[in-house]
Amino acid sequence: MATQKNIFQRNRSGPKALRPPSQTITLSFTFTIEMRAKICYNGSTKVKELGMVNYKSIADQIISLAEEERDFVPLLANASALIWQSLDRINWSGFYLMDKGSLLLGPFQGKVACIRIKLGRGVCGTAAAEGKTLRVDNVHEFPGHIACDSASNSEIVVPIRSGDRVVGVLDIDSPEFSRFDEEDEKGLEEVVCAIEKAADFSSLRVLK
pLDDT at res. 42 = 36
126 in the same domain as 29: no
In a shared domain, residues 23 and 62: no
What is the value of pTM for the model shown? 0.76
Query: 80 or 39: which carries more pLDDT confidence?
Result: 80
Q: Are the C-beta atoms of 88 and 75 separated by less than 8 Å?
A: no
Task: Read off the CATH number of the domain in which 77 is found.
Answer: 3.30.450.40
Is there a single domain that holds both residue 32 and residue 56? no
Handedness of CA 88, 166, 75, 114 (dihedral sign): positive
Are residue 65 and residue 143 in the same domain, yes or no? yes
Do 84 and 176 reside in the same domain of the chain? yes
Please name every residue paired with 161 in a beta bridge, in sequence order, or none if there are none: 166
Start-end of H helices in 67-105: 72-86
Query: Is pLDDT above 60 for 118?
Result: yes
- Same domain assignment for residues 99 and 127: yes
CA–CA distances in Å: residue 42 to residues 56, 59, 182, 183, 208: 10, 15, 14, 11, 41
pLDDT digits (tens, 9 = 90+) for 17-36: 444 444 433 333 332 323 32
CA distance 45 to 35: 16
The pLDDT > 70 percentage for the chain reads 75
DSSP-assigned beta bridge partners for residue 159: 169
Same domain, 23 and 86: no
Q: What is the pLDDT of residue 208?
A: 60
Residue 131 and residue 29 in one domain: no
**Interatomic CA distance for residues 128 and 146, integer angstroms:** 14
Do 20 and 110 lie in one domain? The reply is no
Question: Taking all residues of the chain, what is their mean pLDDT, rounded to a whole number?
Answer: 82
Based on the fold, state whether residues 155 and 60 are members of the same structural domain: yes
pLDDT exceeds 70 at position 40: no
- Return the half-sphere exposure (C-beta side, CA atoms, 13 A cut-off) of residue 87: 32
Is 104 in the same domain as 169?
Answer: yes
Residues 69 and 24 in one domain: no
Q: Is the pLDDT of residue 89 over 50?
A: yes
Percent helix / strand / coil, the chain, rounded to 5 = 40, 25, 35
Structural domain span for residue 8 = 4-37
Mean pLDDT of 173-178: 97
Which pLDDT value is given to residue 43? Answer: 39
- Structural domains counted in the chain: 2
